[in-house]
């Protein structure tokens, strides 16, 4: 008898996803499917609008990382107008972006990824959340997370004009600069963020690395895949979230390609599967060989883990120390264990905080020269930034008035659709065998496989969930329900 287990929905608040696990006659895993509904019609919605609206419009695509879309759209619009923003504008945009990164990475670690480790993957579901973390580790933690978020929001508002959904980036730079008084306040918050980054890494060190069971879990085979890794780097091959070239290394850690944003289409193609509307990007020059590991498979990964693998180091001193400790502890580059993504995320958080201070103390940051007026006829442009969840590409084509005629986006999580699907499959096969009784902790450990990627379903919808957040349905080959497991029975 073939059985089907459905984990549905993963969430409604940030978009709706579904995992289906098909069991074979012996009770082992026959196959798994990870489905993400695609929001439709964004290109059609954009075509006919002025390109300068895109930094505002695209930050409504997704409620999770509007700042990333704002930046990628602004950079693409710069290129459409063939205008190079003044150095101050670039510094300010990157500063806003670093503050956002600290906020976003902190939220993921403490609210989502962390509870699995702090509370344990098999802890009761009602405790495996940020409240459980507070009860176990102390109120001080929550205070720091809230403080980090407040600092990040404040910087985004100062530079971006409003919280969460910035509105100041336009082709050629920004609509406003910052005063010396604001700069000082931003610098002070940056110093605090550096301490917070160090605190978070120490916490990870004490709670996760200090626990042999967790280290074994991280290093275990069920959460390991050998794929290509992608990340943006500066001229020294150090990680850069705002600007640079996209570097891809092979599963041995050797550089496979390094390309300028405008050339992305030469390197990335998309594969279609009949069971999902979302496409699977892969490396064109390697080719699609199915959901497979290894050098011959064009599957690549674009996450914090892939960024540290794809780069030669971090551009700030404390983050560089942590970067070295990361690879020394985990046995050298590249690291293939997907759960190590949580650690890589914290290394990135520290880098973002250090870079925040660097930018806030740059003598040109308060210069009034924050905009270059575009004078060229607009044509076509590509903007790439590293979103927290992966490389984010915006590609626009306009007519001679700057009115959009074509729009193409490859968003962070889409890059990782194939590796996430592979991770779920491997974890399910590793955890469910003949005779396994599927329990809540088992399902949580399967979910941990994709949670490491911090997947975003590209959806800013906030429709209220009107049903149970999780249902596990086991069906026989005829579609009859054999058993139903609910979270709040």
Give the 3-state secondary structure of residue 482. strand
Give the residue, chosen from 30, 47, 112, 265, that forms a contact with other proteins under the rule CB under 8 A.
Answer: 112
Size of the site for other proteins (CB under 8 A): 63
**Are the beta carbons of 485 and 440 closer than 8 angstroms?**
yes
Q: Is 10 in the site for other proteins (CB under 8 A)?
A: yes
Phi/psi at 110 (5° precision): -80, -35
Q: Is 60 in the site for other proteins (CB under 8 A)?
A: yes
Give the residue, chosen from 6, 107, 393, 425, that forms a contact with other proteins under the rule CB under 8 A.
Answer: 107
Residue 312 Cα distances to 78, 252, 329, 453, angstroms? 29, 14, 17, 21
Which stretch in 23-31, 144-152, 260-268, 309-317 sits in contact with other proteins by CB under 8 A?
144-152
- Helix H or strand E segment including 23: strand 18-23
Give the residue, chosen from 213, 260, 403, 468, that forms a contact with other proteins under the rule CB under 8 A.
Answer: 468
Q: Is 447 in the site for other proteins (CB under 8 A)?
A: yes
Q: Which residue, 164, 149, 39, is CA-closest to 103?
A: 149
Give the residue, chosen from 464, 478, 480, 489, that forms a contact with other proteins under the rule CB under 8 A.
Answer: 464
In the complex with other proteins, the residue whose CB is nearer, 463 or 480, is 463
Q: Is 489 in the site for other proteins (CB under 8 A)?
A: no
In the complex with other proteins, the residue whose CB is nearer, 85 or 455, is 455
Q: Is 443 in the site for other proteins (CB under 8 A)?
A: yes
Q: Can you tell me the distance from the alpha carbon of 64 to that of 164, in angstroms, rounded to the nearest whole number?
A: 9
Residue 243 Cα distances to 13, 127, 184, 409, 484, angstroms? 31, 40, 25, 17, 49
In the complex with other proteins, the residue whose CB is nearer, 269 or 474, is 474
* Minimum gap (Å) between residue 450 Cβ and other proteins: 8
Which stretch in 26-34, 81-89, 294-302, 455-463 sits in contact with other proteins by CB under 8 A?
455-463
191 CB burial (10 A radius; 0-12, 13-18, 19+):
middle
- Helix H or strand E segment including 205: none
Q: Is 406 in the site for other proteins (CB under 8 A)?
A: no
Q: Is 455 in the site for other proteins (CB under 8 A)?
A: yes
Q: Is 470 in the site for other proteins (CB under 8 A)?
A: yes
Q: Can you tell me the distance from the alpha carbon of 183 to that of 158, in angstroms, rounded to the nearest whole number?
A: 9
* Minimum gap (Å) between residue 460 Cβ and other proteins: 4
In the complex with other proteins, the residue whose CB is nearer, 107 or 297, is 107
Which stretch in 174-182, 331-339, 425-433, 439-447 sits in contact with other proteins by CB under 8 A?
439-447
* Minimum gap (Å) between residue 83 Cβ and other proteins: 26
Bond prior to 334 in cis (omega within 30° of 0): yes
Q: Is 287 in the site for other proteins (CB under 8 A)?
A: no
Q: Is 63 in the site for other proteins (CB under 8 A)?
A: yes
Q: Is 484 in the site for other proteins (CB under 8 A)?
A: no
Q: Can you tell me the distance from the alpha carbon of 343 to that of 331, in angstroms, rounded to the nearest whole number?
A: 14
Give the residue, chosen from 175, 179, 361, 461, that forms a contact with other proteins under the rule CB under 8 A.
Answer: 461
Q: Is 165 in the site for other proteins (CB under 8 A)?
A: yes
458 Cβ partners below 8 Å, 6+ apart?
A: 15, 36, 38, 39, 61, 62, 411, 413, 414
* Minimum gap (Å) between residue 214 Cβ and other proteins: 18
Q: Can you tell me the distance from the alpha carbon of 210 to that of 363, in angstroms, rounded to the nearest whole number?
A: 42
Phi/psi at 305 (5° precision): -65, -40
In the complex with other proteins, the residue whose CB is nearer, 149 or 184, is 149
Residue 263 Cα distances to 259, 366, 382, 395, angstroms? 6, 34, 9, 11
- Helix H or strand E segment including 217: helix 212-219
Q: Which of residues 124-143 bind other proteins (CB under 8 A)?
A: 125-126, 129-131, 134, 139, 142-143
198 Cβ partners below 8 Å, 6+ apart?
A: 318, 350
* Minimum gap (Å) between residue 332 Cβ and other proteins: 31
Residue 32 Cα distances to 176, 245, 427, angstroms? 50, 35, 10
Q: Which residue, 489, 486, 462, 460, is CA-closest to 474?
A: 486
Q: Which of residues 19-58 bind other proteins (CB under 8 A)?
A: 37-42, 44-45, 57
Q: Torsion angle, CA of 142/144/232/314, rounded to 10 degrees?
A: -130
* Minimum gap (Å) between residue 169 Cβ and other proteins: 18
* Minimum gap (Å) between residue 297 Cβ and other proteins: 26
* Minimum gap (Å) between residue 26 Cβ and other proteins: 26
Q: Can you tell me the distance from the alpha carbon of 482 to that of 243, in angstroms, rounded to the nearest whole number?
A: 53
Residues that bind other proteins (CB under 8 A): 7, 10-15, 17, 37-42, 44-45, 57, 60, 63-64, 66, 104, 107-108, 111-112, 125-126, 129-131, 134, 139, 142-143, 146, 149-150, 153, 164-165, 443-444, 447, 451, 454-457, 459-470, 487-488
């Amino acid at each position: 008898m073939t059985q089907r287990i459905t984990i549905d929905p993963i969430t409604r608040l940030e978009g709706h996803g579904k995992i289906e696990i098909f069991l074979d006659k012996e009770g082992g895993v026959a196959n798994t499917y990870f489905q993400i509904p695609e929001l439709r019609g964004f290109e059609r919605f954009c075509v006919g609008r002025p390109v300068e609206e895109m930094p505002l419009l695209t930050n409504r695509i997704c409620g999770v990382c509007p700042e990333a879309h704002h930046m990628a759209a602004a950079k693409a619009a710069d290129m459409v107008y063939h205008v190079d923003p003044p150095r101050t504008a670039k510094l300010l945009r990157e500063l806003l972006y670093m503050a956002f990164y600290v906020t976003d990475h902190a939220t993921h670690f403490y609210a989502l990824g962390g509870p699995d480790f702090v509370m344990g993957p098999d802890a009761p579901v009602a405790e495996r959340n940020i409240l459980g973390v507070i009860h176990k580790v102390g109120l001080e933690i929550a205070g720091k997370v809230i403080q980090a978020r407040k600092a990040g929001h404040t910087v985004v508002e100062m530079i971006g004009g409003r919280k969460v959904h910035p509105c100041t980036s336009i082709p050629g730079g920004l609509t406003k600069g910052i005063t010396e008084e604001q700069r000082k306040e931003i610098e002070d918050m940056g110093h605090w963020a550096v301490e917070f980054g160090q605190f978070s890494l120490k916490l990870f060190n004490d709670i996760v690395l200090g626990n042999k069971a967790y280290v074994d879990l991280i290093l275990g085979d069920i959460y390991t895949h050998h794929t290509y890794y992608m990340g943006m780097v500066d001229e020294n091959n150090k990680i850069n979230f705002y600007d640079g070239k996209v570097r891809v290394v092979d599963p041995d850690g050797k550089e496979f390609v390094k390309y300028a944003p405008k050339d992305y289409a030469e390197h990335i193609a998309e594969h279609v599967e009949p069971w999902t509307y979302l496409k699977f990007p892969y490396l064109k020059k390697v080719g699609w060989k199915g959901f497979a590991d290894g050098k011959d498979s064009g599957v690549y990964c674009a996450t914090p883990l892939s960024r540290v693998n794809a780069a030669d180091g971090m551009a700030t001193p404390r983050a560089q120390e942590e970067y070295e400790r990361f690879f020394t502890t985990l046995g050298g580059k590249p690291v293939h264990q997907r759960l190590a993504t949580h650690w890589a995320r914290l290394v990135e958080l520290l880098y973002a905080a250090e870079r925040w201070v660097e930018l806030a103390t740059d003598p040109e940051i308060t210069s009034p020269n924050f905009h270059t007026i575009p004078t060229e006829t607009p044509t076509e442009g590509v903007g790439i930034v590293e979103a927290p969840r992966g490389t984010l590409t915006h590609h626009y084509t306009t007519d001679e008035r700057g009115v959009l005629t074509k729009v193409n986006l490859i968003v962070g999580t889409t890059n990782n659709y194939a590796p996430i699907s592979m991770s779920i499959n491997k974890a399910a096969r590793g955890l469910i065998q003949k005779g396994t009784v599927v329990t809540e902790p088992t399902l949580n450990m399967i979910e941990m496989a994709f949670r490491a990627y911090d997947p975003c379903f590209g959806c800013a919808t906030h429709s209220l969930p009107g049903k149970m957040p999780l249902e596990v349905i086991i069906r026989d080959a005829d579609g009859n329900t054999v058993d139903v497991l609910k979270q709040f029975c």
